[in-house]
Amino acid sequence: MAEPSVHNIIVTGVGGQGNVLASQIIATAAVNSGYFVSVGETFGASQRGGSVMSHIRISREEAYGPLIPRGKATMIVGFEPLETLRTLIPYGNKETGVIMNLRSNYPLSVLVGEDTYPEIEKIKEAIAANSRFLVALEATELAVAAGVPVGTNMVMTGAFAGAGVLPIPPETYEGVIAGLFGGELLELNLAAFRAGLKAIAADQDLAGQRR
Amino acid sequence: MSFLSLLVNEPGRSVLMTGNEAVARGAIEAGIGYASSYPGSPTAEILGNLGRLAGDYHFYAEWSVNEKVALEGAAAASFAGLRSICIMKPNGVNVALDSLASISQSGIKAGLVLVVGDDPAGHSSTNEEDSRYLEKLAHMPILEPSTPREAKEMTLAAFELSEKIKLPVALRCVTRVCHASGNVTVGEIAGVNRKPAIGKNERFITVKFLHALQEAKLNQVRRMADAWPFNRYAGPENAKTLVITAGASFMYAREAVKELGLEGEVGILKLGISWPLPEKTLLGRLKTAEKAVFIEEVEPFIEENVMHLAAQHMMDLYPLQFYGQKSGHVAGPSGPGIGEMNPEIVAMALAAVCGVNYSPPPGCDESVKKLVPKVPQRDLAFCAGCPHRASFWAVKSALALDGRDGVVLGDIGCYTMGVGRTGFNLLQTVHAMGSGVGMACGLGKLADYGFNQPVVAMVGDSTFYHAAIPALVNARYNKSSFLLVVLDNETTAMTGHQPHPGMGKNAMGEEVVRMPVESVAEGLGIPVSVHDPYDVEGTTELVFHLLQSEGTKVLVLRRACALIAAKGTKKPRVYVDQELCIGDSCGCNRFCNQTFSCTANIWDVKNNKAVIDEVVCNRCQVCVSLCPRGAIKVEGGEQIG
Amino acid sequence: MSRKKGSLDLKQEVMDSGACANCGLCAGLCPYIKAAGERVALVHPCGLEEGNCYRLCPRTSTDWEQMDKRVFGRERVDHVLGNHREIVFARSLQMDAAEKGQYGGVVSALAAFLLEQGRVSGAVLAGGPAGEAPRAVVATNRDEVLACAGSRYSASPTLSAVHRAVKEGINSLAVVGRPCQVLALRKMQGLEDGPGYPPAVDKVEFVIGLFCFWSLETGIYDLLNRKAGGQRILKVDIPQDFLTITTASGSANIPVDEVRPLIRPACRLCFDPTSEFADVSVGSTEYDPRWNTLIVRSAKGKEIVDAARARGIIETRAYPEERLPLLYQAVRNKKLRVLQALESGQGAGYLQLTGQYREALQRERGMNQ
């Protein structure tokens, strides 16, 4: 399949999960590979438990605007199940690919008992029914296992890199990560990134559906 | 990307930068000598970056106590011949306006660029304000970049323009430029070699006869505006439908025209300068057009000014029709002039104007509903372990104990969220920086007229320095009776942990003298107490006690922002002993989870008991002290507090 | 059958109506009710319709005669002073307790004795400087008990400390309290076991009740400190018709009439001036400042008083014949006044009394006058 004129990738999650950094790594890897890239994000409320989205638009042809139009996401990288679904509803389409962390983060309305958190299986089903593919992984647990409990974003970045959405080799991402961290921190973050790569490579559903 | 991209010294290389980084880079390439700001989203990162680079490129950078002082410092540096940049959000322009209007009148020497980060939709603001009206009022040229790339290039050009006409120039960015990232081509970093000095005969004085000169300068810019290199036209010559736009809206307009397949019919005129208008360019395009459509954020600034221009040339332009916010064609879900633009809003407006069919993709809402009937909203909340949550609970408790319906006045910062559930809906007023304290002054004088409710103002540490001090002087002078609670988390948390005068550090990372809040209050002769809000019971008693006496009083609740405190310490594990937890029965009823509602105090549905989300928990241990059954326990690590 | 009641009812019926006796036992029972200074408040609705806070409140519906049966295992014969095994004059034989304490120092002596004997591991008392509103103290040794000696004249919600002490690991407590506080503790001990059962129920081992005909609002401390002219107040007493404050430079008298407006309105509805459900009750003699009146009520009370006497901690002597009618008269008058007020609709009908009890109270009036 020919590369689309623009990749519209949304990284979504809850403030504090590090999705700004993930989007910057993906975007930098693309710039370093010669693409025009635009990223739109808001981070005023990023640490306050709100819904946070980064729109990444990657094109060989021209710079796009910072916001992805409704229904035009080619890929959603969701750090949290509810946020993944929330993003898919307006921005996704039947051709959208989804990679999702299974670890829930509960909104205040759920904590106080006004709302209930939807069942994870129902969320998965709803996403699968409205997308091209869904890869769901325990990214937070993988990050903890890699020794970086806050490294969910690196695992998810690895999973994205390994999903083959962009014709950019994992080494390019690793090069970007190497520019961000040093010493032990670099090793830990690379370990988390590779855990994501490995998890996605092992995913049978994706292997079957990848085009 | 990030900070590192600012250091790239390979002219011509394309690197990823945010709009804020691009402005900082542009300022460095322009050879600034002075940079100042008070942190405000969406522009807070500009000075953050400049502060880190000030040493390398030999310029001065400061976090000023407020925007007025920031601007005055930058203006002074300009008088001395240094290019200077001053950065703020629209609310900052409100604060600085008095000085701004005067400085614009007195004129300047070296280039002075005022970067204003408007926040359409108020993503990280309490309000939504279009600063262009104020910049126009201050007789400033207004430049509007559409992308990070333009932000860098326009910063450079802004200094040239400012220097040429001796007026401060506004670089008006919006959130979708400041916080967007894109390819930016870096240029040469000029070595600066200017010795600041003010000539013996130089004068910078605001006098009314200079108004005429000020207008003449603007007219000069008006003539230059047509040649402003950032104005751009795309589309067929003599297009019947002309979109007039600026800033990030241009990107949406371009995408919308493409989406509708109207590239052959619709022309887009992007203004790189929105005041004064490039009149010849506009009139030239409008003469051949039948319909003009305005796409801009937030309010119809360009629309009004272009319509005014058109009115002067009515006979030439007839029968031109205008479409925009005034006509109601360009409107987000909340109506015209409210909120952000996006590709769908623009596409819908253009479709209506051009008579083509368009409706945005419906999304998969209906299909999802069958499986997940409701996707709960995610309200903003204090972070796990945030000292504000403990402070708000203590103040709420003290007011309930006091029993006289104490009034709580809010202010601007993370704690503004105290209007919501996360702060137990405690705040009854929220306005501008420091205004809760001024309002407390007023309420605190009404006892003689029958107002018998105690008054509490809650303000953050950075906001205290910014604008609360004059109000506190007023309170003491006029014998106003209220309790000022300063929520001191030892940083400017809301905008990303910038330093402030109470911290002993400045923007360039130097150690400086600490001016703690209590010293300021003591200096004013106001009784002041300092307490740790993590001691909820002690804080409650102290607040209760302070409410029982007359006079102006200050209570500093000091505890570092949980996000900073969590870094670097070996964290003890906080966990729930479910054997001891009494869950939803009398004596608790999910207090930690449903009432105190720290985001880490989640509910184990299976066992009907509390549990800690250890990925979210910042280990503050406040819930340990609040649990009525001692069921929340601590294991290992360094104890906090 | 009436609806089950909880914290919102407590707020409406007791706290907001001014009936709250400030015992403090509901505060700290859960995180929703708090006490500070001399205030108790529901700071946030707990979300439950019914609650133990309502059940144990001394100003919610209380069956007086049922309480006799549950606490003492028998009905009362004496409808004025309640169940008792002995009414005597008593005083501490230990100089420190006698000197520091009000009158005979019996409260301090007994509380310290219980601690020293290991009968309890903590004692909840009202403490703090004499010229300020008292605060709750959890004493774990004799010195800490003696530091609290001396009468208090305002109603601090000190029972909130009972829950705090238990949470901190003290597993048997002596509590010194006003009659309202004694009643609250006994109501708490009558709660049914189950989820949310307060852990303090099984931890209150011994209750020393005080005589209390009324308490004052915290405004009294402003008055006292004004009268003390800025000097530190060492002791406060109400010997007869004067309130006396003692400072380093001497003492000053304040006429009781000047204090009367500061009497807590809630106290005007209190039916129990002598802590009828305590193990022992202690008050002044209104006669001889070196002695206390001691009413020994329960078997446990008797056991402890006997042991304290045997070990020379306290001594007792017979209550003077001619003084007893005066005690009865004062208590009965208070009870009759309160009954009248309650019957006129004040106090939301907290007191459940049978007709027989009322009759007996009237009848005994004639007998003892």
Which pLDDT tens digit goes with each residue over B29-39?
A: 999 999 999 99
- Tokens representing B560 are 């570092």
The percentage of residues in chain B with a pLDDT greater than 90, rounded to a whole number, is 91
Q: Do C213 and C241 share a domain, yes or no?
A: no
Asked whether residue C142 is domain-assigned, the answer is yes
Task: List the CATH number of the domain containing A79.
Answer: 3.40.920.10
3-state secondary structure of A39: strand
Provide the 10 A C-beta neighbour count for residue C36. Answer: 25
The size of the A-B interface in CB pairs under 8 A is 206
Distance CA B250, CA B283 (A): 19
Give the gyration radius of chain B's Cα atoms: 27
Q: Quick one: closest CA in B to C42, which residue?
A: B400
Outline where chain C has alpha helix (H).
7-10, 52-56, 64-72, 95-100, 106-116, 142-146, 160-167, 179-189, 219-227, 256-259, 299-310, 324-343, 355-368
Asked whether residue C165 is domain-assigned, the answer is yes
Residue B219, CA distances (Å) to B104, B167, B278 in order? 14, 12, 11
Domain enclosing residue C246, as ranges: 219-259
Q: Do C27 and C67 share a domain, yes or no?
A: yes
Asked whether residue C1 is domain-assigned, the answer is no
Q: Do C206 and C74 share a domain, yes or no?
A: yes
Give pTM, 2 decimals. Answer: 0.94
Domain enclosing residue A137, as ranges: 7-141
3-state secondary structure of B569: coil
Hey, are the CB atoms on C37 and B400 less than 8 Å from each other?
A: no
What does the DSSP 8-state code read for residue B415? G
* pLDDT category of residue C97 using cuts at 50, 70 and 90: low
Interface test with B, best of C7, C25, C33, C44 (most B CBs within 10 A): C44
Q: Do C228 and C311 share a domain, yes or no?
A: no
Hey, are the CB atoms on A126 and B147 less than 8 Å from each other?
A: no
Asked whether residue A27 is domain-assigned, the answer is yes
Report pLDDT for A78.
98
Hey, are the CB atoms on B125 and A45 less than 8 Å from each other?
A: no
Q: B338 pLDDT exceeds 90?
A: yes
* pLDDT category of residue C369 using cuts at 50, 70 and 90: very low
With an 8 Å Cβ cutoff, is B403 touching chain C?
A: yes
Hey, are the CB atoms on A112 and B421 less than 8 Å from each other?
A: yes
pLDDT digits (tens, 9 = 90+) for B218-232: 999 999 999 999 999
Task: Please list every residue in chain B whose beta carbon sits closer than 8 Å to the beta carbon of residue A41.
Answer: 179-181
3-state secondary structure of B397: helix
pLDDT digits (tens, 9 = 90+) for A151-205: 999 999 999 999 999 999 999 999 999 999 989 999 999 999 999 999 999 876 6
The ipTM (two decimal places) reads: 0.93
Report pLDDT for C236.
83
Asked whether residue C163 is domain-assigned, the answer is yes
Hey, are the CB atoms on B378 and A107 less than 8 Å from each other?
A: yes
Letter string b/e over residues B449-473, b meaning 16 or more CB atoms within 10 A of that residue's CB: eeeeebbbbbbbbbbbbbbbbebbe
Report pLDDT for B241.
98
Q: Do C249 and C287 share a domain, yes or no?
A: no
Asked whether residue A197 is domain-assigned, the answer is no
With an 8 Å Cβ cutoff, is B359 touching chain A?
A: no
Report pLDDT for B9.
85
Q: Quick one: closest CA in B to A23, which residue?
A: B181
With an 8 Å Cβ cutoff, is B616 touching chain A?
A: yes
With an 8 Å Cβ cutoff, is B586 touching chain C?
A: yes
Domain end position, chosen among C206, C227, C259 = C259
Q: A44 pLDDT exceeds 80?
A: no
Hey, are the CB atoms on B396 and C44 less than 8 Å from each other?
A: yes
User: Domains in chain B and their CATH numbers?
Assistant: 2-225 (3.40.50.970), 232-354 (3.40.50.920), 387-565 (3.40.50.970), 573-635 (3.30.70.20)
Any idea how long chain C is?
Answer: 369
Which H helix or E strand runs over C122? strand C122-127
Report pLDDT for A1.
57
With an 8 Å Cβ cutoff, is B379 touching chain A?
A: yes
Q: Do C160 and C275 share a domain, yes or no?
A: yes
CB B280 within 8 A of CB B226: yes
Asked whether residue C278 is domain-assigned, the answer is yes
3-state secondary structure of B294: strand
The size of the B-C interface in CB pairs under 8 A is 84
* pLDDT category of residue A211 using cuts at 50, 70 and 90: very low
Q: B502 pLDDT exceeds 90?
A: yes
Q: Which of B481-495, B573-587, C86-100 has the lowest mean pLDDT?
A: C86-100
Task: Please list every residue in chain C whose beta carbon sits closer than 8 Å to the beta carbon of residue B629.
Answer: 167, 199
Q: Do C229 and C147 share a domain, yes or no?
A: no
Q: Do C245 and C270 share a domain, yes or no?
A: no
Hey, are the CB atoms on B255 and A108 less than 8 Å from each other?
A: no
Task: Please list every residue in chain A whose beta carbon sits closer than 8 Å to the beta carbon of residue B594.
Answer: 111-113
Asked whether residue A210 is domain-assigned, the answer is no
Report pLDDT for C366.
46
Q: B residues 277-296 near A, CB within 8 Å?
A: none
* pLDDT category of residue B480 using cuts at 50, 70 and 90: very high
User: Which residue has 């007020």 as its token pair?
Assistant: C341
Hey, are the CB atoms on B176 and A92 less than 8 Å from each other?
A: no
CB A162 within 8 A of CB A201: yes
Distance CA B97, CA B111 (A): 19
Report pLDDT for B53.
94
Asked whether residue A167 is domain-assigned, the answer is no
Asked whether residue A188 is domain-assigned, the answer is no
Torsion, Cα C176 C181 C182 C183, to 10 degrees, reads: 180
Chain A nearest-CA distance from B240, in A, is 25
CB B536 within 8 A of CB B626: yes
In the predicted model, what is the mean pLDDT of residues C181-206? 93
Q: Do C71 and C210 share a domain, yes or no?
A: yes
Distance CA C38, CA C60 (A): 20
Q: B570 pLDDT exceeds 90?
A: no
Report the number of distinct structural domains present in chain C.
2
Chain C nearest-CA distance from B561, in A, is 25
Mean per-residue pLDDT over chain B, rounded: 95
What does the DSSP 8-state code read for residue A130? T
Task: Please list every residue in chain A whose beta carbon sits closer than 8 Å to the beta carbon of residue B360.
Answer: 69-71
Mean per-residue pLDDT over chain A, rounded: 91
Asked whether residue A202 is domain-assigned, the answer is no
User: Which residue has 């200077």 as its token pair?
Assistant: B84
Distance CA C353, CA C75 (A): 13
Q: Do C360 and C226 share a domain, yes or no?
A: no
Hey, are the CB atoms on B182 and A39 less than 8 Å from each other?
A: yes
Task: Please list every residue in chain A whose beta carbon sits closer than 8 Å to the beta carbon of residue B599.
Answer: 49, 105-106, 108, 111
Asked whether residue C307 is domain-assigned, the answer is yes
Report the number of distinct structural domains present in chain A.
1
Letter string b/e over residues B124-150, b meaning 16 or more CB atoms within 10 A of that residue's CB: bbbebbbbbbbbbebbbbbbbbbbbbb
Asked whether residue A129 is domain-assigned, the answer is yes
Q: Do C223 and C212 share a domain, yes or no?
A: no
Of A43, A83, A130, the CB nearest to B179: A43
Q: C residues 193-212 near B, CB within 8 Å?
A: 194-199
Outline where C34-152 has alpha helix (H).
52-56, 64-72, 95-100, 106-116, 142-146
- Tokens representing B234 are 């795309």
With an 8 Å Cβ cutoff, is B41 touching chain A?
A: yes
Of B397, B585, B589, the CB nearest to C43: B397
Q: Quick one: closest CA in A to B180, which residue?
A: A40
Distance CA B344, CA B493 (A): 34
Hey, are the CB atoms on B599 and A39 less than 8 Å from each other?
A: no
Asked whether residue A169 is domain-assigned, the answer is no
Which H helix or E strand runs over B539? helix B536-547
With an 8 Å Cβ cutoff, is B36 touching chain A?
A: no
Hey, are the CB atoms on B378 and A108 less than 8 Å from each other?
A: yes
Task: Please list every residue in chain B whose beta carbon sits closer than 8 Å to the beta carbon of residue C36.
Answer: 397-398, 401, 540-541, 544-545
Asked whether residue C2 is domain-assigned, the answer is no
Task: Please list every residue in chain B whose beta carbon sits closer than 8 Å to the beta carbon of residue C52.
Answer: 586-587
Distance CA B508, CA B425 (A): 38
Q: Do C42 and C163 share a domain, yes or no?
A: yes
Q: Which of B162-166, C232-236, C307-311 has the lowest mean pLDDT?
A: C232-236
Report pLDDT for A98.
97
